[in-house]
Amino acid sequence: MASAGGAAPFWRAAGMTYITYTNICANLVRNCLKEPFKAEAMSREKVHFSLSKWVDGKPEKPTIRSEGSEH
Interface residues with other proteins (CB under 8 A)?
1-9, 12, 17-20, 22-23, 26, 43-54, 56-59, 62, 64-65, 67, 70
Q: Which of 1/32 has CB closer to other proteins?
A: 1
Q: Which of 4/36 has CB closer to other proteins?
A: 4
Residue 25 to residue 40: CA distance in whole angstroms:
17
Cβ burial of 25 (10 Å; 0-12, 13-18, 19+) is exposed
Contact 60, 52 (CB under 8 A): yes
Q: Which of 9/33 has CB closer to other proteins?
A: 9
